[in-house]
Amino acid sequence: MERFEKLELKPFLIEAVKELGFKNPTEIQERIIPSVLKGESVIGQSQTGTGKTHAYLLPLLNSIDPDSQNVQVVITSPTRELANQIYKEALKLISHHDQEIQARCFTGGTDKQRSIDKLKQQPQIVIGTPGRIHDLLKENALFVHQTKSFVVDEADMILDMGFLEDVDRIAGGMPEKLQMLVFSATIPEKLKPFLKKYMANPKFTHVAPKQAAAEKIQHVLVPVKHRNKKKLIHDMLLSYNPYLAIVFANTKKMADEVADSLSEQGLKVGRIHGGLPPRERKKVMKQINDLEFQYVVATDLAARGIDIEGVSHIINYELPQDLDFYIHRVGRTARAGYSGIAATVYEASDEDALAKLEKMGITFVNKDLSGTEWKEAEDRHRRKNRQKTDREAEERAKAGIRKPKKVKPGYKRKMKWEMDKVKKKQRRIKRREK
C-alpha cells in the first residue's frame, strides 16, 4: 500500500482503498490525485476502465470538511445508472470516516418532491444527472454558492445527450474561484468553448490505454454476404449460446428494430437505450442483473460506464460512427481476467472503418457461420491483394506481348495463351523470391 500512502491521502481513505482491494494507483490516479489535492482544475482524457472515478473521488473526499453543512462537491454524470454507480463508490469511501459525511444522489425518473425533502439538510456531496440537479437549483432546494469543486464526468456524452446547457447553468451558480474537473473519452470541438469559459489554466492529462482492448477478447469479423442481417444475428446468438450477449446498434430506432426482430424469431430480449422511460430502464437493468435475459440489444448508452456483469459476447450489428466507441463496446466483456468474444457483422462499406480499427491495434479473425457451424472465412485482405496482383500481372503480361500487325483467325486465343504463360512464369519467380 506504500504507493497510495505516498499520495498523501488521509488514513480513512487508505483504509477504504485497502478494503476495496486496490494495490497500486492506476496511471490516471497517479497523475491526477496530486493535482486535485492541490486544488488545481483538471481535464482528464481517458477511456472507461482506467480508474478515473477514484482518481477524482479520493482527493475530493480527502478535502471534505465534515463540520461544514454546505454543498462542497458536485458531480454530474450523463446517465442515471452512471450517477448511481459513482454514488455507491462514494458511499464505500466515506463509510470509513469517523465523522458523518452526507452524500446524496439526485437523478431524473425519481420523485422530485422526495428529492427536495431530502435537502432540508444540505449534503456535503451531491451526485446526479445535470437535468435533475438544475431542477433542484431552480426550486431553491439545493444551494451550490459555496461549492469548492465541480466534476463533469463523461463530458462528451453529456454534450451528445444535450445536457451541456444544464451543466453550464449549474456552474453559473457556483463561486468564481471554483475547482473544475472534467473527464471525457474524447474532447470534441463543441466542448471547448465551455472548457474555456470555466477553466482558466487547467492541467490536461491524457491517459492512452496500454492496448486498444483487453487481451482476452477475440475480435471476430463475419461477412453479411447478401444475407438477412437480423436473421444472421439471430443465428449467431443461438450458435454462441452466450452467458450474456449485448448486441449494439447505433440508434434507438435500430435497436428497437433489432430487438423486435429477435423477439419475433423466438428469443427473449432485453433492450437498453435513451428512449426508454426511466422506470422501464431501471426495470430492465434489474432484470439483466438478475440474469433474466441471455440477450440484450443496446445503443452506446450501455457502453459508457454502465456495469453489466458476466457479459461473454458483444455483437456489433453495425460499427459505431465514432470508432472510440468500438473500444467502449468491447470493453463490456473480458472483464476481471475472463475471456470474451466481440463479433462484428460487416459489409463492403465498412472497409475504411475496419482498416482504422486495425491501425488502432485491433487484430481481427475472419469467420463465417454456415448453418449452425462456425468455419474459417477468407481474409478480406486476401481477395483484395489477389485482385491487385492479378491486375498487375495482366498489365505486365499485356505490356510484354505485342498485338500482331496482321490479325489472323484465333489470335485472341493465342494471345490469352501467351499471357497465361507470362503470368505463370511471374508466379514462379515470385514463389522463388519468397
Q: How far apart are CA 41 and CA 168, in angstroms?
A: 16
Instruction: Spell out the domains of the chain, with CATH numbers in brackets.
Output: 2-207 (3.40.50.300), 217-377 (3.40.50.300), 382-429 (no CATH)
Q: State residue 147's pLDDT score.
A: 97
Asked if 363 and 252 touch (Cβ cutoff 8 Å), the reply is no
* Mean pLDDT value of segment 118-134: 95
How many CB atoms are closer than 10 A to CB 401? 15
pLDDT for residue 233 is more than 60? yes
The alpha carbon dihedral of 298, 302, 303, 307 has a sign of: negative
Per the model's pLDDT, the better-predicted residue between 12 and 398 turns out to be: 12
The alpha carbon dihedral of 383, 384, 385, 389 has a sign of: positive
- Based on its alpha-carbon atoms, the radius of gyration of the chain, rounded to whole angstroms, reads 28
The predicted-structure confidence for 347-394, as pLDDT tens digits, reads as follows 999 999 999 999 888 999 999 998 888 999 888 776 555 555 555 556
Place of cell 432485453: 270
Q: State residue 213's pLDDT score.
A: 57
pLDDT for residue 1 is more than 50? no
pLDDT grade, residue 412 (50/70/90)? low
Those residues whose C-beta lies under 8 Å from the C-beta of residue 429, and which sit 6 or more positions away, are none
The angle, 0 to 180 degrees and rounded to 10, between the axes of the packed helices 80-94 and 52-62 is 50
The predicted-structure confidence for 64-101, as pLDDT tens digits, reads as follows 999 999 999 999 999 888 899 999 999 999 999 999 99
pLDDT for residue 120 is more than 50? yes
